[in-house]
Structure 1
Amino acid sequence: MRIISHQTAQLKTAEIISDDLLIVNAEDTLQLIVDIYYQGFDRILLFEKNVTPDFFDLKTRLAGEILQKFINYKMRLIIVGDFSKYSGQSLKDFIYESNKGKQINFLASFSESHY
């Protein structure tokens, strides 16, 4: 895992580069948040490939469990990927609603993140 730092006037973002699954469960999430927080970052940018596919199946409730950790620890999250391959309307609605706020965002490309 490698971290690329992006700084704006307000936020310091950790872009996580890895070929591995980094978030498989809530414990992985908490460990990642703690590691990034103690390095002084305000936000984490992950790629879809680094998150277990079960996350995107809302029936597993894993997305809620994982995202609650980010909310509880006030760590912003951006997940970059192609979410069109997931067919469920519930997930599409979930992504749409998440993107209205600033805490959790799902984006098609890194350039949409505005760091």
Structure 2
Amino acid sequence: MVKTTQYNGLTLIEFDSQGPRLGTERDASDVLSEAFAVDASVVVIPVDRLDPQFFELRSGLAGGFFQKLQNYDCRLVIVGDISAEVTASKSLHDFVYETNRRGHHLFVPDRQTMLDRL
């Protein structure tokens, strides 16, 4: 299930925490299709929906997923606690830090933090 909301002049498509795991470029294409259907420019995915391999950067899932959305000028916001994954991986820590520093895509711990950053 997804819901569409408006915030700060942006249309957000927010995916529910229940549903199939996401992570592949094919999944990113499906997500983009849903975003385009409602003219959303921001895709919000709870961390619970992501394939656990997504956070193992060697798998290439995160890079491919982010790149697919980037190619279509769609922002991606990952919402949820990934502190354990970030602590366990310097490369993931650096990826999250750099992603949030640039600000186009975001990793945030909760919805309110997301709204504050948008």
Q: Same fold (TM over 0.5)?
A: yes
User: Mean Cα displacement is larger for which, 22-31 or 50-59?
Assistant: 22-31
Q: Does 1:113 align with 2:114?
A: yes
Matches within 5 A, 1:52-67: 52-67=51-66
Match of 2:12, SS state, is strand
Q: Deviations over 1:51-96 (max 9, x none)?
A: 1011100111111111110100111010011111111011011001
Task: State the Cα distance separating 1:39 from its structure 2 match.
Answer: 1.2
Match of 1:5, SS state, is strand
Alignment size in residue pairs: 114
Kept after mapping to 1: 8 A contact 2:12/2:40 = yes
Unaligned runs of 5+ in 2: none
Q: Does 1:96 align with 2:97?
A: yes
- Whose helix proportion is higher, 1 or 2? 2
CA distance in 2 between partners of 1:93 and 1:19 (Å):
28
Kept after mapping to 1: 8 A contact 2:23/2:62 = no
Q: Which residue of 1 aligns with 2:2?
A: 3
Runs of 4+ in structure 1 over 4 Å off: none
TM-score when normalising by structure 1: 0.91
Q: Deviations over 1:25-56 (max 9, x none)?
A: 11011111122112111101110011101110
CA distance in 2 between partners of 1:101 and 1:37 (Å):
24
Matches within 5 A, 1:77-96: 77-86=76-85, 87-96=88-97
Kept after mapping to 1: 8 A contact 2:23/2:65 = no
Kept after mapping to 2: 8 A contact 1:76/1:102 = no
Structural RMSD (CA): 1.4
